[in-house]
């Protein structure tokens, strides 16, 4: 699966597809009930941000329901504030506008790929509650362990799902911030872990404390016709155009803090 992405990058260059970029959120390590926290959401390779993500969905799933996030452009990402109520698991649920990549644009074969990207941020409050939310839609990374108080040396277990069913793919894990550190400590090409998950089961020991982002990429052998929801920044297509694709190559990202 990662070979498909690397092939795209070799064709169009890192600037076009944002090599090593991830959709993730930065937020405090410790969150208590009855508080207010600031968020920074970006599509980048480190915690300083890089690209303001074009989000189709930005919402907070919390113990009392689901609320849309109110976000503002901060130049290299989107900022916002979240009110924390009762203890439980708070989940930032993010989806970027889907895009399409066609190798024929560069005079090559190989067909076209639909590229959905989604991200979730896990914010346990108090006992944490159940953080294994699944919408049954698109590509998801669903934690299968208690995310409250997760710490260095613990074992992360998660399941990748495509439209609610197990799906194989490739995963990586990177640490972007150290506990209590306001500075970026890692770049996405410096992975702490990477591997293949043929049945979508992601499992590894957490080797460092900090803000982790786990990425998962899959290739779905499904062709179809897609109606563009936004203009392509490079002018390849416009909103409303109907474009054929040969496969779906989704990416999903899971952000969470690991304590000492």
Closest C-alpha to 141, from 179, 115, 167: 167
Would you say residue 7 has pLDDT above 70? no
Query: What does pLDDT average to over the chain?
Result: 89
Q: Which stretches within 94-152 are classed as H helix?
A: none
Q: What is the pLDDT of residues 42-54, one digit of tens each?
A: 998 766 567 899 9
Q: Give residue 14's pLDDT.
A: 34
CA distance 80 to 39: 5
Q: Give residue 123's pLDDT.
A: 97
Q: What is the pLDDT of residues 181-227, one digit of tens each?
A: 654 544 445 799 999 999 999 999 999 999 999 999 999 999 999 99
Closest C-alpha to 155, from 186, 197, 193: 193
Would you say residue 248 has pLDDT above 50? yes
Q: What is the pLDDT of residues 8-51, one digit of tens each?
A: 444 444 333 334 689 999 999 999 999 999 999 999 876 656 78
Q: What ranges do the domains of the chain cover?
A: 2-258
Angle at 208 between CA 202 and CA 209, to 5 degrees: 105
Cα→Cα distances 8→59, 69, 117, 139, 250, Å = 30, 32, 16, 20, 14
Cα→Cα distances 88→53, 103, 154, 258, Å = 27, 45, 20, 17
Residue in the block written with tokens 């890192």:
14
pLDDT band for position 130 (50/70/90)?
Answer: confident
User: Averaged over 106-110, what is the pLDDT?
Assistant: 90
């Amino acid at each position: 699966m990662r070979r498909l992405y690397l092939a795209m990058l070799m064709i169009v260059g890192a600037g076009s597809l944002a090599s090593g970029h991830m959709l993730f959120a930065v937020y405090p390590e410790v969150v208590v009930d009855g508080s207010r926290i600031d968020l920074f959401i970006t599509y980048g390779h480190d915690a300083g941000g890089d690209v303001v993500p074009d989000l189709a969905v930005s919402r907070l799933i919390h113990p009392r329901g689901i609320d849309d996030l109110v976000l503002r452009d901060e130049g290299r990402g989107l900022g916002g504030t979240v009110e924390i109520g009762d203890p439980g698991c708070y989940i930032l649920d993010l989806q970027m506008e889907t895009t399409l990549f066609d190798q024929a644009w560069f005079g090559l074969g190989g067909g076209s790929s639909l590229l959905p990207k989604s991200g979730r941020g896990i914010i346990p409050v108090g006992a944490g509650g159940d953080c294994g939310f699944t919408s049954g839609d698109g590509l998801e990374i669903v934690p299968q362990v208690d995310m409250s108080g997760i710490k260095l040396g613990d074992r992360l277990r998660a399941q990748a799902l495509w439209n609610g069913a197990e799906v194989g793919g490739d995963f990586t894990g990177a640490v972007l911030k150290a506990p209590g550190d306001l500075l970026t400590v890692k770049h996405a090409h410096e992975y702490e872990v990477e591997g293949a998950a043929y049945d979508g089961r992601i499992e590894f020991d957490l080797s460092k404390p900090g803000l982790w982002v786990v990425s998962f990429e899959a290739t779905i052998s499904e062709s179809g016709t897609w109606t563009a929801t936004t203009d392509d920044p490079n002018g390849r297509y416009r909103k409303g155009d109907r474009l054929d694709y040969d496969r779906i190559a989704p990416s999903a990202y899971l952000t969470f803090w690991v304590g000492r």
